[in-house]
């Protein structure tokens, strides 16, 4: 969690210099969900993300150097400088992609889970999305098929209360995401305390059942809160888009600080030093890497003959 926080804090500081060549959707404040879920997964399990995917990528073990280089648009990046912040991929780590189009990675995860079932392996797929994706038809189609086929897929709704700046109850008559999933035959759990340990324990239980053939899909609605603006490095507590008083409640129960309070000061300092070194190394790698050459324009392009 500290690694994710430090990476994104540095992204926020660097972004105004224009060295980062892509819009950024920061996960500061939302780290607990990605870390709690991914800690319950094996290295060979896979995750699919939404555009706010830095935390998911890092929590699943994505390469930090390649992530930093991708943000800078460098050829050493995870997408060779072409994908940017919203489309991070690390196949070796099980990060199979993220999409900037709301909800579209949900059916991708269901398709992968169907392949897992067909091949009779014990892997699990997980897909992360915001509460805004619940407004999309593919969400319901995906839940229906996953329930029908009892697929090993975890649906993770990171409910930060907003779709851009539209509050959930301005878009949906009831705040009942878990009830909707249950009505479609998908067991669902709502986790309200933004605690990575709780998220880990609940996810691990569901995943273990899937691996042993005793359970199909499961949906987790994890209540959380983003600390920065929808897209970009700044705050947006101007009383029009969001109120700071609303945010202060979440600041006061920062899960990162709650975890740190469980450790002695020496351990905390050791972790901080290790993380700071990793982040410094990754961004120096990005700074020193080259931009893609001109011929890169014609690489990885599909063409019908």
- 37-58 tens-digit pLDDT: 999 999 999 999 999 999 999 9
* Sequence spans of domains, the chain: 2-291
Give the model's confidence band at 231: pLDDT under 50 very low, under 70 low, under 90 confident, else very high: very high
Give the model's confidence band at 169: pLDDT under 50 very low, under 70 low, under 90 confident, else very high: confident
Pick the CATH number of 2-291 from 3.40.50.970, 3.40.50.720, 3.40.50.1220, 3.10.20.740: 3.40.50.970
Burial 200-230 (b: 16+ CB within 10 A, else e): bebbeebbeebeeeebbbbbbbbbbbbbbbb
Give the model's confidence band at 301: pLDDT under 50 very low, under 70 low, under 90 confident, else very high: confident
As a whole number, mean pLDDT of residues 159-174 equals: 92
As a whole number, mean pLDDT of residues 2-27 equals: 96
Say what the pLDDT of residue 250 is.
96
- 57-81 tens-digit pLDDT: 999 999 999 999 999 999 999 999 9
- 102-161 tens-digit pLDDT: 999 999 999 999 999 999 999 999 999 999 999 999 999 999 999 999 999 999 999 999
pLDDT at 303 over 90: no
Higher pLDDT: 135 or 302? It is 135
Count Cα neighbours of 130 within 13 Å in the Cβ-side half-sphere.
26
pLDDT at 213 over 90: no
Q: pTM for this one? A: 0.95
Q: What are phi and psi of 215, to 5 degrees?
A: -160, 150
Give the model's confidence band at 239: pLDDT under 50 very low, under 70 low, under 90 confident, else very high: confident
Say what the pLDDT of residue 254 is.
96
């Amino acid at each position: 969690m500290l690694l994710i926080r430090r990476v994104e804090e540095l992204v926020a500081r660097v972004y105004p210099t224009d060295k980062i060549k892509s819009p950024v959707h920061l996960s500061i404040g939302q780290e607990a969900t990605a870390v709690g879920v991914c800690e319950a997964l094996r290295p060979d399990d896979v995750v699919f993300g939404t555009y706010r995917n830095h935390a998911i990528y890092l929590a699943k073990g994505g390469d930090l150097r390649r992530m930093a280089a991708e943000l800078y648009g460098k050829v050493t990046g995870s997408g060779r400088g072409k994908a940017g912040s919203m489309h991070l991929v690390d196949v070796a780590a099980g990060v199979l992609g993220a999409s900037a189009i709301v909800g579209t990675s949900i059916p991708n995860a269901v398709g992968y889970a169907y392949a897992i079932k067909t091949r009779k392996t014990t892997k699990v797929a997980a897909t992360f999305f915001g509460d805004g994706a619940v407004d999309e038809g593919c969400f319901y189609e995906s839940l229906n098929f996953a329930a029908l086929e009892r697929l090993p897929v975890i649906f993770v709704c990171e409910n930060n209360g907003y779709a851009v700046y539209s509050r959930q109850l301005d878009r949906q008559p009831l705040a009942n995401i878990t009830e909707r999933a249950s009505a479609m035959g998908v067991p669902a759990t709502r986790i309200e305390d933004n605690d990575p340990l709780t998220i880990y324990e609940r996810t691990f239980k569901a995943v273990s059942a899937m691996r042993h053939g005793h359970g199909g899909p499961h949906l987790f609605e994890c209540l959380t809160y983003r600390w920065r603006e929808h897209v970009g490095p700044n705050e947006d507590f101007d009383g029009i888009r969001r109120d700071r008083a609303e945010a202060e409640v979440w600041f006061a129960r920062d899960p990162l600080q709650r975890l740190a309070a469980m450790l002695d000061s020496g351990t905390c300092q050791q972790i901080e030093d290790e993380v700071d070194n990793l982040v410094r190394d990754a961004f120096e790698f990005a700074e020193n890497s080259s931009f893609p050459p001109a011929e890169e324009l014609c690489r990885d392009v599909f063409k019908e003959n």
